[in-house]
Amino acid sequence: MEQVVEEKPKFELSTSRQFPGWLAGQQSCIIFSTYQIGKVFMLGSNQDGSLHVTERSFPRCMGLGTSSGNNTFWMSSLWQLWRFENSLTTGKFNEYDKVYLPQVAYTTGDLDIHDIIVGQDGRPVFVNTLFSCLATTSETHSFRPVWKPPFISKMVPEDRCHLNGLAEKDGKPGYVTLVGRSDVSDGWREHRANGGLVMDVQTNEVVCEGLSMPHSPRWYEGSLYLLEAGSGYFGKVNLETKTFEKIAFCPGFLRGLDFVGNYAVVGMSSVRKNKTFSGLPLDNNLKEVNTSPRCGIQIINLETGATENWIRLEGIVEELYDVKVLRGVSKPLLIGTKKEDIRTMISVEA
Is pLDDT at 17 greater than 60 in this prediction?
A: yes
pLDDT at 101 (0 to 100)? 95
**223-263: per-residue pLDDT in tens?**
999 999 999 999 999 999 999 999 999 999 999 999 999 99
Distance CA(312)–CA(290), nearest Å, equals 18
Interior/surface letters 297-333, b for 16+ CB within 10 angstroms, e for the rest: bbbbbbeeeebebbbebbeebbbbbbbbbbbebbbbb
The more confident residue out of 350 and 11 is: 11
What whole-number distance in Å separates Cα of residue 166 and Cα of residue 301?
23
The tens digit of pLDDT for each residue in 123-182 reads 999 999 999 999 999 999 999 999 999 999 999 999 999 999 999 999 999 999 999 999
d(CA 322, CA 285): 23
What is the pLDDT, as a whole number, of residue 10? 84
Query: 61-70, 194-203, 219-228: which range is least confident on average?
Result: 61-70
Total domains, the chain: 1
Edge-to-edge strand list for the sheet holding 113-118: 113-118, 124-128, 133-136, 144-147
pLDDT in tens, 78-109: 999 999 999 987 778 889 999 999 999 999 99
Confidence of residue 344 (pLDDT cuts 50, 70, 90): confident
In a domain, 4, yes or no: no
pLDDT range class, residue 279, cuts 50, 70, 90: confident
pLDDT digits (tens, 9 = 90+) for 281-296: 999 999 999 999 999 9
Q: According to the model, what pLDDT value does residue 272 have? A: 66
The answer to the question of residue 6 being in a domain is no
Phi, psi of 137 (to 5 degrees): -75, 155
Q: What is the pLDDT of residue 317?
A: 92
- Is residue 289 a part of any domain in this protein? yes
Strand partners, 257: 266
CB 271 within 8 A of CB 289: no
- Decide if pLDDT at 350 tops 80: no
Tell me, what CATH number does 243's domain have? 2.120.10.80
Tell me if 3 is assigned to some domain: no
Amino acid letter, 146: V
pLDDT interval class at 1 (50, 70, 90): very low
Decide if pLDDT at 9 tops 70: no
Confidence category of residue 324, pLDDT binned at 50, 70, 90: very high
Residue 5 lies in a domain: no
Mean pLDDT rounded to a whole number for the chain: 93
Residue 282 falls within a domain, yes or no?
Answer: yes
Categorize the per-residue pLDDT at 339 as very low, low, confident or very high, splitting at 50, 70 and 90.
Answer: confident
Is the pLDDT reported for residue 271 higher than 90?
A: no
Residue 178 inside a domain? The answer is yes
Would you say residue 348 lies in a domain?
A: no
CA torsion angle for 271, 220, 164, 35 (degrees, to 10)?
50
Closest CA to 81 of 136, 154, 119: 136
Give the pTM: 0.94
Answer with the residue of higher pLDDT: 336 or 210.
210
Full residue range of the structural domain in which residue 122 is found = 11-341
